[in-house]
Structures are given as C-alpha cells and as structure tokens.
Structure 1
Amino acid sequence: MDPRADPKKEVGQGGGHTPCTHMDLGFLRPLYSTDAPVASVHLDTSRHSTDSDKEIELRWRHLRQHLTRLGTDQATLHALEEAVGQGPSRSYGTHGQSLFASQGQLLDTHTLAVPPQHDHATWMPVPDPLPLVVDRGRHIPYVLVALDRVNAKIVGYTDQPTQGPALQEHPTGQTMHNLDGPLGRSGPGQRRGLGGRGSAQHAAQQMWRENTAAFAERAREAVRAVDAKIILVGGDEEAITYLRQNLGPRQLSIPIRIIAGGRGGQAAQERLHQATEQALAEHILDEHTQALNDYQQKLAHDQAVEGTEQATHMLTEARVQTLLLTAQRQNENHLYASLTQPVPVAQDPADLGQVDHDVFTAPASALMLRSAAASGASFTELLEQDTALAGSDHGALLRFAGNNH
C-alpha cells in the first residue's frame, strides 16, 4: 500500500510527548479576574448566506432576553452585544462563539471551531466555560507539509483553527538547472565536489536530500512556533522518505503521519485537505483512547478517582492533576463553592466550612473547571462512549497516590 494513501501511517514518534487531551486550562484565567457575577454566552455564529447576520442577531436577541430575566446589568449586556459575531466569527463558514463579560467589561471572547449544539447563556457568580473548553480540547496545533523534491509548502496551525494558519512558508530548493555551468557542475553528469565520480542521478539525489534537509529544518521551526502535537506530510514519495530521515525521533518527539495529496493541482490539494481532516480526527480519537486507558490503569492503582464525590474531594485538596468531564449537560448536577476561595467544591455546602453568604451553587462543570484552573490542573474530555467504560461523568488523575478516601 502507498503510505501516502494511508492517513493512519505514523512514523518518527519519540517517547515522552504529552497527550493533547491533557489540556492546560491557563487560557481561562481572564474569566476569573473578577469577583462580580459573570455572563457567559455560547452561540452559533455560522455564516452561509446573506441572511446570516439576521440569524445571528435573532439568536443573540433570545439570549439577551434570557440574560435580562436572570438579572444581568445593561452595561454587561451592551459589552456582549458589541462583541457578538465580531473577529474571526465574522468569517464565512461554520463556527460558533463564546463570550464572557462582567460589570460592563468583556472578559474574553473565543471563536469555536464547531458551533454549540444549542445556544446557551448564564449569569452566575462564576463563568460557565465548558463548551469553550470542550471545543478547544477537540483541536490540536499541527504542522502540515506538502512537498516535492524541489519545493515545499509548510503551514502551522494553532489549536484555534478558525483563526487560520499561524504561519505559512513556501521554501524552494535547488534544481538541476541551478547546478549547470561552471559554478555548478565539474563536467557532464558530474556535480562539483564529487571528485568526478558522481553520476547525474547521484548528483540529483544528493541535491534532493539537501533540499529536504532544509525543508525539515523549516518544519522543525514551525513545530516550535505553534507547539505542534503532530506533523502531517503529503507529496512526492521519495521526497517524503528524505524528509522523514531528517525528522526522526532524535529531532522531534511528536508523531509524523503520512497522508494523501500534495503540492500538485487542485485535485491533489483537495485530497490533502480531506486527508488532513481525517488524520487529525483519528489522531485525536487515538489520544482520547490512550488517555482513557491511562485513567483506567491509574484507577486500579489508586492514582485516579471516579465519581463526583471523590473528584470534588480531590479538587478541594488540590490533588488533581487532570480533571475528566463529559460534554453532555443534560440533567447536570449542581455543586457548592465559595465566593472567595476558588479551589474548594462540594456536594454539601456544610463541607465547605464557609459562612452562608459566601456559599453559592452552580452547575458541577462550572465549579469543577474553576477549581481545576485555580489549582493548576489540566483537562481531558470524557467522550460519550467513554462514560460507559469510565463508569461516571466525572473523574480525576491525581498528582500523587495515597489514601483517596
């Protein structure tokens, strides 16, 4: 089988890379920069026709009315209205938007690669970031390389695909034409520096190796620039072979996956795009499977806990390394937390040891994410098919083992 046609073909993987599913929650910090109530809005901002602006306006109007009924102040509503559908969310295509505001100020806004299943808004003492966190966790930064033996296209993407490429380069290498003449060739069929022993074919292969070595260095720079979790490569088979030799596990600890398509005409570019989407989806699913297997193994060795009661207990003790939550919110439980201390979270308000006026209740995911972000924990989504295996909608990997009861 042609390895370029197999998106699951993976080479060059070294050990020690962190699964992309263990997501740093540091990007949520701006949402917790206020002690005042926060309005959280998640809505579909897709644009597919000339009527899209009106459709987005109607969606926002319904959410604004809902927020008004919840008691949101007019200044905060105005701040949200000014930001709805702006930035990358104005672009044509399918996407959504998450917005957070408080006291008349916009705390943060993010474009969602996939619109929420249902438009949703809350007005609570804490933000409600679960749809944003789930969307961010389903996308990874990556580098895409399309090449032949002389030219390459290297594109780096962050984990926010709606923002477009973070970098894009089109390096060009040497050609046999460059090697003609007194400065290039020592004689017919010989490349300068080969001592007269090299054939034209040998000279060409050496040139291609040098070209792809240069492309590999540019690819490594792109990986560092976007903190890529995978490299996807399509194009000329021999050029890919040379590139792989320069992007082995000694140089990079992330996987390299060979995909269909390349630098050719429109058809080749379309195959490359389709193969990229498929390869990314498969890689993320593989990472989720790996994370679930790791979770189940650690459960057996008291290095993880499952269920709301144990997860909240470990969060309160700041012992959670990675919080596991499902994106499903139907019949979601509410928990209790403190207005002044972000880490403690409990099923019973009495367990918080706080005065009554400092205690409030909110959806479990909002409070558990607040606690995880405050204590430096990461996040992994429990996929719908994972919850049956995990036995709960909530779980946690622990920073250190011990008595978990």
Structure 2
Amino acid sequence: MSKYTLGATGIGLIALIIGEVTIPQQAAAGELYSITNLGSLNPTATGFDAYSPGYGINNAGQVVGSSILSSTDVFRSHAFRTAPNSAINPTTDDLGTLGGNSSTGYAINDFGQVVGESNKSVYGSDYAFLWSDATGMQNLGTLGGESSVANAINNLGQVVGSAETKEGEFHAFFYSGSGVLQDLTTVGGLSSANDINDSGQIVGSKQIQLGQNHPFLYSSSGALQDLGTLGGEEGVASAINNFGQVVGSADTGATFEPDDPKECPCNVSHAFFYSGSGTLQDLGTLGGPNSDATDINDFGQVVGNAGYIKGSKVTAPFLYSNGKISNLNDLIPANSGWVLENADGINNSGQIVGTGTIQDPGRNYPVHAFLLTPVLKPTSVPEPSIIFGSLTASAFGIFLGKKSKQQGKAKGLV
C-alpha cells in the first residue's frame, strides 16, 4: 500500500468517529503496562555503549530516538525509527546523518516522517532535519545562523523547532515545505517552538521583557499568547494535542532546599495543564519538589517526569490521568527487570515511550528506549460526538497532507 493512501490511521479515525471501534479505558491506579525493550542499533553493546533513548511515538506505535553505534566511539550515534510496536532493527531502522557522526530523532507523524537534529561534520553544528521514506534526511537550514533543531511535526508535514539567527539568537521557527524557515519571533528575545498540532497551533517558550522564559501558544492570529506561570517567574510549554490542550512546566513561586545547598537557588517547578482558556492547572508531583509534563494525547492523558524524593532532584516518569498522577514504575510488572527513568511521548492508544535502565549486571545495566502498552479491557466511547470535530479535522488534514506531499515531491519535501 502506498504511504499516501488513507491507510490504517485514517481508517481508524473514521471508525472511531462512527463508533465502530472502542478505545482503551483511561488509566487508573493499579493498571498494568506490558513493556517492550526497544534495544539498540548496536545490539551486542553493554553499559553506556548500549545507550539508546526514545523520544517520540506515533499512533501506529513507531518510535524514534537515537542510539550509539560503536563501543569504540561513543560520540557516534544515529537517529532510529522502529517498525510499529517493534524493537530496533539495526538493518532497517538507522536513519543516518547529514554527513557527520551524529543525529537524533525527536518526533514522528502518522506518515512515518521524522524530525530532529544532525551534524554535517564530526565537529560541526547540528541542523534541523526532516526525514521521509521517499527522500531520506533533508537539512532544513537555519534562520541565518549556524545551527537549528526540529522538535515536532504534524500530519500535514509542518515542522517546528528552534534556529539560530544571524544575530546569534535562537528563535522559534515554522516550516511548511516552502524551502525556508519562518521566524515566529517578531521582536527580540530567545524562543523555541516545541510542538504543533494538526490545526497548526504551536507551543513553546519565549523570553519576555524581563528576560524570563514563559510558555506560549501560537495560533492563526499570528501572535504568541503568553500562558503565564503557576505563580513563579518562568515556564515552558512542551506539547499540545488536537483539542488545543497544552502541557509543560512552570515555576510556582516557591523554593526548596536541595541535598546540596550549593545548587541553590532552587525554584519549585510543576507540570501544568492548560485547557485552552483560563489559567494553568498544577498537576503536582510524585512527592518531590518538581515535575515536568512532556506530552499529551487526544484523550487528555499526560506523561512526564517528577521528583519523588523530598528535597532531591531525583525523578521518575509519571502518567497523569483522571485527576491522578502515578509513578510509571508502579504500573509495570514488579519482575520486569526495568527501572524507568524518563517518559517523553504518548499516543492515542495510551502507549508510552521513554528511557530506562535494564537491571542486568551481566550487561552492565544498559540504558534503552522502552515502549509501554496498556493492558486494559477496552471500553466504548461514551460520547463520540465530543471528538467528532477534532478527528474529522485530523482525517481531513491527512487528506490535505497527502495532496501537499505529492505536490512537494518536486521540491524535495517528501
């Protein structure tokens, strides 16, 4: 089947709209996840040589990240993209580089297109890239400076990230296939775009006049809307779903005393949820001082990382759902042999991607990407009309994406 046909994702959206399929029940305390070790591009490696963090996941269960390639050169790492619900295959999943020795994949859309950063030479700067099956890895360039990074891509192939200007500042950018990056910062100050949904809404962080970073939401109005904080000075928006719900982290205005007082000042920063109007909602922590939300799916499930020891910066990955925050280490089998350390992505099936340490002294405790899959009894959607508009827009966006991708072949966009 051509990758430009509607495919399983589009069929799934349509079926969900008309109520012919069920979705997993939202997470609750005590539920279990199965865990898949996604492995490494260097499958015989042990310890740090096996380092292969996972960062992004699409609705098909494909995962992207990076992996060290050689035990003799730990600075040589490549971006990977797995097959759906599968471990890394070193033969097929290595995405290569822009000519240098390293690359990292940060996000993937439902067409399998990947974005991230890569260098063109061993000691050169990193550049934002767009990778597809048709064209391989493309350098998206900068805003006139020396480096850039692509953080997210939606189903229309639109990309956002951060790029250096000729003045040496890093600004949030938007890329729509025109061949050039659009600077989203109309006034001075640093900024970064961290995610984009299928409606083209963008979130990230931007310096305000006082020099602090605040989370922003960018819509078709053309202005960066300051979302504020939880009472403190700074914050960042990390992700947005197709309903315009935003998550990230923001200072609360409080401070905490760390294990090492030399590390102060230590502001308390908590994960937040923004519904699209009103103020930020504090999602709390796992018992420690800080938390950070990294992703949200279209059913409002949030993942991130949170402190779980009072006065310490030690963190664990969390799931926030139905008003409850849970340590993901408590939701996997007790004999899994894993310590989960970070959660960076969640798809609409509730699958979670992140990075953890395998408790195997014989292999010197390798750090690998993991894929968590909910072990849940399915339940029908109570009110499918609630999600009709968003999913219809997503399906229509896929159609438009198909058309724009086909038109963009001549421009080397896909």
TM range (shorter): under 0.3
Q: Which has the higher contact order (CA 8 A, sep 6+)?
A: 1
Structure of greater Rg: 1
Structure with the higher strand share, 1 or 2: 2
Alignment TM-score, normalising by the size of structure 2: 0.24
Alignment TM-score, normalising by the size of structure 1: 0.24
Structure with the higher helix share, 1 or 2: 1
